[in-house]
Amino acid sequence: MENVQIEPVKRSRRSLPQELNILLVLVAVALVFEILGWLFQGQSFLMNSRRLTIMILQVSVVGIIAVGVTQVIITGGIDLSSGSVVAMTAMITMSVAQSSEFARAMYPALTDLPVIVPLAVGLGIGLLAGMINGALIAWTGIPPFIATLGMMVTARGIAKWYTKGQPISFPTDSFAAIGSGAAPVFIFLAVAVIFHFALRYTRYGKFTYAIGANPQAARVSGINVQRHLVKVYAIAGLLAGLAGIVTASRAATAQAGMGMMYELDAIAAAVIGGTSLSGGRGRIFGTVIGTLILGLMMSGFTFLRVDAFYQEIVKGIIIVAAVVADTFRQKARSKKA
Protein backbone atom coordinates (compact mmCIF):
# COMPACT_ATOMS: atom_id res chain seq x y z
CA MET A 1 0.00 0.00 0.00
CA GLU A 2 3.02 2.32 0.41
CA ASN A 3 3.13 3.30 -3.21
CA VAL A 4 -0.57 4.07 -3.40
CA GLN A 5 -0.97 7.79 -3.73
CA ILE A 6 -3.25 9.50 -1.27
CA GLU A 7 -6.06 11.51 -2.78
CA PRO A 8 -6.52 14.91 -1.25
CA VAL A 9 -9.86 15.29 0.46
CA LYS A 10 -11.74 18.37 -0.60
CA ARG A 11 -12.95 19.79 2.65
CA SER A 12 -16.14 21.77 2.48
CA ARG A 13 -16.07 25.11 4.19
CA ARG A 14 -17.64 24.89 7.62
CA SER A 15 -20.98 26.60 7.31
CA LEU A 16 -23.88 27.02 9.66
CA PRO A 17 -26.81 24.70 9.10
CA GLN A 18 -29.26 26.13 6.65
CA GLU A 19 -32.06 26.22 9.22
CA LEU A 20 -30.03 28.62 11.32
CA ASN A 21 -29.80 31.07 8.44
CA ILE A 22 -33.56 31.05 8.06
CA LEU A 23 -34.03 31.43 11.78
CA LEU A 24 -31.81 34.51 11.60
CA VAL A 25 -33.97 35.90 8.81
CA LEU A 26 -37.03 35.35 11.00
CA VAL A 27 -35.42 37.21 13.89
CA ALA A 28 -34.28 40.00 11.56
CA VAL A 29 -37.78 40.48 10.13
CA ALA A 30 -39.23 40.57 13.65
CA LEU A 31 -36.68 43.15 14.78
CA VAL A 32 -37.32 45.37 11.77
CA PHE A 33 -41.02 45.46 12.60
CA GLU A 34 -40.22 46.05 16.26
CA ILE A 35 -38.10 49.10 15.42
CA LEU A 36 -40.61 50.41 12.88
CA GLY A 37 -43.32 49.87 15.47
CA TRP A 38 -41.64 52.12 17.99
CA LEU A 39 -40.85 54.69 15.33
CA PHE A 40 -44.24 54.96 13.69
CA GLN A 41 -46.79 53.48 16.09
CA GLY A 42 -45.15 54.28 19.38
CA GLN A 43 -45.61 50.73 20.66
CA SER A 44 -43.97 47.32 20.67
CA PHE A 45 -44.74 44.89 17.85
CA LEU A 46 -43.55 41.73 19.57
CA MET A 47 -44.61 42.41 23.17
CA ASN A 48 -48.22 41.68 22.37
CA SER A 49 -49.20 38.06 22.87
CA ARG A 50 -52.61 38.58 21.32
CA ARG A 51 -51.10 39.85 18.11
CA LEU A 52 -48.66 36.96 17.96
CA THR A 53 -51.38 34.38 18.61
CA ILE A 54 -53.51 35.83 15.81
CA MET A 55 -50.49 35.84 13.53
CA ILE A 56 -49.75 32.16 14.05
CA LEU A 57 -53.44 31.31 13.77
CA GLN A 58 -53.61 33.09 10.43
CA VAL A 59 -50.82 31.01 8.94
CA SER A 60 -51.61 27.66 10.58
CA VAL A 61 -53.77 26.47 7.71
CA VAL A 62 -51.17 27.43 5.13
CA GLY A 63 -48.59 25.80 7.38
CA ILE A 64 -50.45 22.47 7.41
CA ILE A 65 -50.55 22.54 3.60
CA ALA A 66 -46.91 23.60 3.42
CA VAL A 67 -45.82 20.49 5.34
CA GLY A 68 -47.27 18.35 2.54
CA VAL A 69 -46.08 20.59 -0.26
CA THR A 70 -42.54 20.54 1.15
CA GLN A 71 -42.44 16.76 0.79
CA VAL A 72 -43.68 17.01 -2.78
CA ILE A 73 -41.03 19.60 -3.61
CA ILE A 74 -38.32 17.43 -2.04
CA THR A 75 -39.19 14.72 -4.59
CA GLY A 76 -38.58 17.32 -7.29
CA GLY A 77 -42.29 17.91 -7.94
CA ILE A 78 -44.82 20.63 -7.22
CA ASP A 79 -48.41 20.68 -5.97
CA LEU A 80 -50.62 23.49 -7.23
CA SER A 81 -53.87 21.87 -6.17
CA SER A 82 -53.80 22.31 -2.40
CA GLY A 83 -55.78 25.57 -2.20
CA SER A 84 -58.58 24.14 -4.32
CA VAL A 85 -58.54 20.88 -2.40
CA VAL A 86 -59.05 22.96 0.76
CA ALA A 87 -62.20 24.45 -0.75
CA MET A 88 -63.49 21.13 -2.07
CA THR A 89 -62.96 19.35 1.25
CA ALA A 90 -64.40 22.25 3.23
CA MET A 91 -67.60 22.15 1.19
CA ILE A 92 -68.14 18.41 1.23
CA THR A 93 -67.10 18.03 4.86
CA MET A 94 -69.42 20.79 5.98
CA SER A 95 -72.34 19.19 4.17
CA VAL A 96 -72.09 16.16 6.49
CA ALA A 97 -71.27 18.22 9.59
CA GLN A 98 -74.43 20.29 9.78
CA SER A 99 -76.52 20.62 12.91
CA SER A 100 -80.19 19.54 12.93
CA GLU A 101 -81.06 22.88 14.50
CA PHE A 102 -80.63 24.35 11.05
CA ALA A 103 -83.89 23.91 9.13
CA ARG A 104 -82.43 23.96 5.61
CA ALA A 105 -79.59 21.51 6.00
CA MET A 106 -78.18 20.15 2.74
CA TYR A 107 -78.80 16.52 3.70
CA PRO A 108 -81.52 16.65 6.40
CA ALA A 109 -81.02 12.93 7.02
CA LEU A 110 -77.30 13.41 7.64
CA THR A 111 -77.37 16.01 10.38
CA ASP A 112 -75.95 15.75 13.90
CA LEU A 113 -73.55 13.02 12.84
CA PRO A 114 -70.68 12.22 15.23
CA VAL A 115 -67.67 14.37 14.47
CA ILE A 116 -65.68 11.39 13.23
CA VAL A 117 -67.84 11.19 10.09
CA PRO A 118 -67.07 14.64 8.62
CA LEU A 119 -63.48 14.19 9.73
CA ALA A 120 -63.14 10.90 7.88
CA VAL A 121 -64.95 12.26 4.83
CA GLY A 122 -62.70 15.32 4.67
CA LEU A 123 -59.46 13.40 5.09
CA GLY A 124 -60.66 10.78 2.61
CA ILE A 125 -61.42 13.35 -0.07
CA GLY A 126 -58.05 15.05 0.38
CA LEU A 127 -56.30 11.69 0.24
CA LEU A 128 -58.17 10.72 -2.92
CA ALA A 129 -57.30 14.00 -4.65
CA GLY A 130 -53.64 13.52 -3.73
CA MET A 131 -53.63 9.92 -4.93
CA ILE A 132 -55.06 10.99 -8.27
CA ASN A 133 -52.30 13.59 -8.58
CA GLY A 134 -49.67 11.02 -7.68
CA ALA A 135 -51.02 8.30 -9.94
CA LEU A 136 -51.13 10.67 -12.92
CA ILE A 137 -47.56 11.79 -12.32
CA ALA A 138 -46.13 8.37 -11.59
CA TRP A 139 -47.81 6.28 -14.24
CA THR A 140 -48.57 8.60 -17.15
CA GLY A 141 -45.34 10.52 -16.75
CA ILE A 142 -46.99 13.92 -17.17
CA PRO A 143 -45.22 16.76 -15.37
CA PRO A 144 -46.37 17.43 -11.77
CA PHE A 145 -47.11 21.00 -12.78
CA ILE A 146 -49.75 19.88 -15.29
CA ALA A 147 -51.26 17.10 -13.19
CA THR A 148 -51.76 19.32 -10.16
CA LEU A 149 -52.85 22.27 -12.29
CA GLY A 150 -55.63 20.03 -13.59
CA MET A 151 -56.55 19.06 -10.05
CA MET A 152 -56.47 22.70 -9.01
CA VAL A 153 -59.07 23.69 -11.61
CA THR A 154 -61.16 20.54 -11.20
CA ALA A 155 -61.34 20.64 -7.39
CA ARG A 156 -62.28 24.31 -7.43
CA GLY A 157 -64.96 23.45 -9.97
CA ILE A 158 -66.31 20.65 -7.79
CA ALA A 159 -66.40 23.01 -4.80
CA LYS A 160 -68.56 25.45 -6.79
CA TRP A 161 -70.74 22.82 -8.42
CA TYR A 162 -71.47 21.08 -5.12
CA THR A 163 -73.92 23.75 -3.95
CA LYS A 164 -74.14 25.80 -7.15
CA GLY A 165 -72.07 28.45 -5.41
CA GLN A 166 -74.03 28.65 -2.16
CA PRO A 167 -72.15 28.60 1.14
CA ILE A 168 -72.87 25.83 3.68
CA SER A 169 -73.15 26.75 7.35
CA PHE A 170 -74.36 25.70 10.83
CA PRO A 171 -72.01 22.89 11.82
CA THR A 172 -72.49 20.83 14.97
CA ASP A 173 -70.74 22.16 18.05
CA SER A 174 -68.30 19.27 18.12
CA PHE A 175 -67.23 19.94 14.51
CA ALA A 176 -66.88 23.66 15.19
CA ALA A 177 -64.60 22.81 18.11
CA ILE A 178 -61.90 21.41 15.79
CA GLY A 179 -60.82 24.83 14.61
CA SER A 180 -61.74 26.90 17.65
CA GLY A 181 -59.35 28.78 19.88
CA ALA A 182 -55.72 27.93 19.36
CA ALA A 183 -56.50 24.41 18.09
CA PRO A 184 -55.28 25.08 14.51
CA VAL A 185 -51.88 26.07 15.87
CA PHE A 186 -51.57 22.79 17.73
CA ILE A 187 -52.75 20.82 14.71
CA PHE A 188 -50.15 22.60 12.58
CA LEU A 189 -47.37 21.95 15.06
CA ALA A 190 -48.37 18.32 15.52
CA VAL A 191 -48.38 17.75 11.77
CA ALA A 192 -45.03 19.50 11.44
CA VAL A 193 -43.43 17.42 14.19
CA ILE A 194 -44.79 14.14 12.79
CA PHE A 195 -43.47 14.77 9.31
CA HIS A 196 -40.24 16.31 10.48
CA PHE A 197 -39.50 12.99 12.14
CA ALA A 198 -40.93 10.92 9.31
CA LEU A 199 -38.63 12.63 6.83
CA ARG A 200 -35.54 12.32 8.98
CA TYR A 201 -35.92 8.96 10.65
CA THR A 202 -38.05 6.64 8.51
CA ARG A 203 -37.54 4.75 5.32
CA TYR A 204 -40.34 6.85 3.82
CA GLY A 205 -38.25 9.99 4.41
CA LYS A 206 -34.99 8.52 3.12
CA PHE A 207 -36.66 7.39 -0.09
CA THR A 208 -38.32 10.79 -0.54
CA TYR A 209 -34.96 12.58 -0.48
CA ALA A 210 -33.34 9.92 -2.67
CA ILE A 211 -35.99 10.24 -5.38
CA GLY A 212 -35.66 14.01 -5.41
CA ALA A 213 -31.87 13.85 -5.50
CA ASN A 214 -31.65 11.38 -8.39
CA PRO A 215 -34.67 9.35 -9.56
CA GLN A 216 -32.61 7.00 -11.76
CA ALA A 217 -30.19 6.20 -8.98
CA ALA A 218 -33.17 5.69 -6.66
CA ARG A 219 -34.63 3.15 -9.05
CA VAL A 220 -31.36 1.30 -9.41
CA SER A 221 -31.07 1.25 -5.61
CA GLY A 222 -34.26 -0.82 -5.53
CA ILE A 223 -36.78 1.90 -4.70
CA ASN A 224 -40.19 1.62 -6.34
CA VAL A 225 -40.15 5.25 -7.45
CA GLN A 226 -43.65 5.32 -8.87
CA ARG A 227 -45.34 3.86 -5.84
CA HIS A 228 -43.43 6.16 -3.56
CA LEU A 229 -44.44 9.24 -5.53
CA VAL A 230 -48.10 8.26 -5.18
CA LYS A 231 -47.57 8.06 -1.41
CA VAL A 232 -45.99 11.50 -1.23
CA TYR A 233 -48.72 13.19 -3.26
CA ALA A 234 -51.39 11.31 -1.30
CA ILE A 235 -49.95 12.68 1.96
CA ALA A 236 -49.90 16.20 0.50
CA GLY A 237 -53.57 15.73 -0.47
CA LEU A 238 -54.42 14.35 2.97
CA LEU A 239 -52.90 17.40 4.62
CA ALA A 240 -54.74 19.75 2.26
CA GLY A 241 -57.92 17.89 3.29
CA LEU A 242 -57.05 18.42 6.94
CA ALA A 243 -56.50 22.11 6.21
CA GLY A 244 -59.93 22.22 4.58
CA ILE A 245 -61.55 20.70 7.68
CA VAL A 246 -59.82 23.20 9.95
CA THR A 247 -60.76 26.13 7.74
CA ALA A 248 -64.44 25.15 7.54
CA SER A 249 -64.62 24.40 11.24
CA ARG A 250 -63.04 27.67 12.27
CA ALA A 251 -65.21 29.77 9.98
CA ALA A 252 -68.29 27.66 10.86
CA THR A 253 -69.10 27.88 7.20
CA ALA A 254 -67.77 26.58 3.90
CA GLN A 255 -67.49 28.52 0.66
CA ALA A 256 -66.21 27.59 -2.76
CA GLY A 257 -63.80 30.53 -2.67
CA MET A 258 -61.94 29.28 0.40
CA GLY A 259 -58.23 28.55 0.28
CA MET A 260 -57.70 30.78 -2.74
CA MET A 261 -53.93 31.02 -3.48
CA TYR A 262 -53.04 28.96 -0.42
CA GLU A 263 -51.01 26.64 -2.64
CA LEU A 264 -48.76 29.53 -3.58
CA ASP A 265 -48.32 30.64 0.03
CA ALA A 266 -47.45 27.06 0.94
CA ILE A 267 -44.89 26.78 -1.87
CA ALA A 268 -43.50 30.16 -0.81
CA ALA A 269 -43.19 29.02 2.80
CA ALA A 270 -41.31 25.89 1.72
CA VAL A 271 -38.98 27.77 -0.59
CA ILE A 272 -38.28 30.56 1.91
CA GLY A 273 -37.55 27.78 4.39
CA GLY A 274 -34.78 26.46 2.20
CA THR A 275 -36.47 23.64 0.26
CA SER A 276 -34.84 23.39 -3.13
CA LEU A 277 -37.14 23.36 -6.15
CA SER A 278 -34.64 21.10 -7.91
CA GLY A 279 -35.40 18.40 -5.35
CA GLY A 280 -33.50 16.37 -2.78
CA ARG A 281 -33.19 19.11 -0.22
CA GLY A 282 -35.46 20.64 2.40
CA ARG A 283 -36.60 20.30 5.99
CA ILE A 284 -39.99 20.64 7.61
CA PHE A 285 -38.40 22.79 10.32
CA GLY A 286 -37.34 25.24 7.62
CA THR A 287 -40.86 25.28 6.23
CA VAL A 288 -42.28 26.06 9.67
CA ILE A 289 -39.91 29.02 9.92
CA GLY A 290 -40.84 30.04 6.37
CA THR A 291 -44.50 29.95 7.33
CA LEU A 292 -43.79 32.12 10.38
CA ILE A 293 -41.87 34.61 8.24
CA LEU A 294 -44.88 34.93 5.93
CA GLY A 295 -47.18 35.38 8.95
CA LEU A 296 -44.88 37.87 10.57
CA MET A 297 -44.85 39.98 7.44
CA MET A 298 -48.61 39.95 7.05
CA SER A 299 -49.11 40.81 10.68
CA GLY A 300 -46.37 43.41 10.66
CA PHE A 301 -47.71 45.26 7.66
CA THR A 302 -51.18 45.32 9.17
CA PHE A 303 -49.72 46.60 12.42
CA LEU A 304 -47.96 49.40 10.53
CA ARG A 305 -51.22 50.06 8.65
CA VAL A 306 -49.55 49.41 5.31
CA ASP A 307 -52.02 49.02 2.47
CA ALA A 308 -52.85 45.39 1.62
CA PHE A 309 -51.77 45.96 -1.97
CA TYR A 310 -48.23 46.75 -0.88
CA GLN A 311 -48.20 43.60 1.22
CA GLU A 312 -48.75 41.46 -1.85
CA ILE A 313 -46.12 43.30 -3.83
CA VAL A 314 -43.54 42.78 -1.09
CA LYS A 315 -44.55 39.15 -0.64
CA GLY A 316 -44.02 38.52 -4.33
CA ILE A 317 -40.59 40.08 -4.24
CA ILE A 318 -39.57 38.04 -1.20
CA ILE A 319 -40.60 34.76 -2.81
CA VAL A 320 -38.54 35.50 -5.91
CA ALA A 321 -35.61 36.66 -3.79
CA ALA A 322 -35.69 33.38 -1.85
CA VAL A 323 -35.52 31.33 -5.05
CA VAL A 324 -32.75 33.52 -6.48
CA ALA A 325 -30.77 33.02 -3.27
CA ASP A 326 -31.31 29.26 -3.53
CA THR A 327 -30.17 29.24 -7.16
CA PHE A 328 -26.97 31.10 -6.28
CA ARG A 329 -26.33 28.69 -3.44
CA GLN A 330 -26.65 25.75 -5.84
CA LYS A 331 -24.36 27.36 -8.41
CA ALA A 332 -21.72 28.15 -5.82
CA ARG A 333 -21.88 24.56 -4.65
CA SER A 334 -21.58 22.92 -8.06
CA LYS A 335 -18.61 25.13 -8.91
CA LYS A 336 -16.88 23.98 -5.76
CA ALA A 337 -17.57 20.34 -6.54
> In the complex, which residues of this chain contact another protein (CB under 8 A)?
4-12, 201-203, 206-207, 209-210, 212-214, 216-224, 276, 279-281, 333-334, 336-337
Closest to another protein by CB, 250 vs 281, is 281
Q: What is the number of other CB atoms lying within 10 angstroms of the CB of residue 12?
A: 9
Buried b / exposed e across 313-332, counting CB within 10 Å, b at 16+? eebeebbeebeeebeeeeee
Find the shortest distance in angstroms from Cβ 232 to another protein.
16
Find the shortest distance in angstroms from Cβ 279 to another protein.
8
Find the shortest distance in angstroms from Cβ 110 to another protein.
36
Helix (H, G, I), strand (E, B) or coil at 100: coil
CA distances from 267 to 51, 179, 213, 270 (A): 25, 23, 19, 5
Closest to another protein by CB, 221 vs 327, is 221
Find the shortest distance in angstroms from Cβ 215 to another protein.
10
DSSP E strand boundaries for the chain: 168-169, 253-254
Closest to another protein by CB, 13 vs 50, is 13
Closest to another protein by CB, 7 vs 307, is 7
Closest to another protein by CB, 305 vs 335, is 335
Closest to another protein by CB, 100 vs 224, is 224
Find the shortest distance in angstroms from Cβ 280 to another protein.
4
In this structure, the strands spanning 253-254 and 168-169 are antiparallel
β-bridge partners, 253: 169
Find the shortest distance in angstroms from Cβ 133 to another protein.
23
Find the shortest distance in angstroms from Cβ 1 to another protein.
8
Pairwise CA distance, residues 260 & 258, whole Å: 5
- Assess contact for 266 and 64: CB atoms under 8 A: no
Hey, what's the torsion of the CAs at 178, 181, 185, 190, to 10 degrees? -50
Our measurement of the distance from residue 165's CA atom to the centroid of its chain's CA atoms, rounded to an integer in Å, reads 26
Closest to another protein by CB, 175 vs 207, is 207
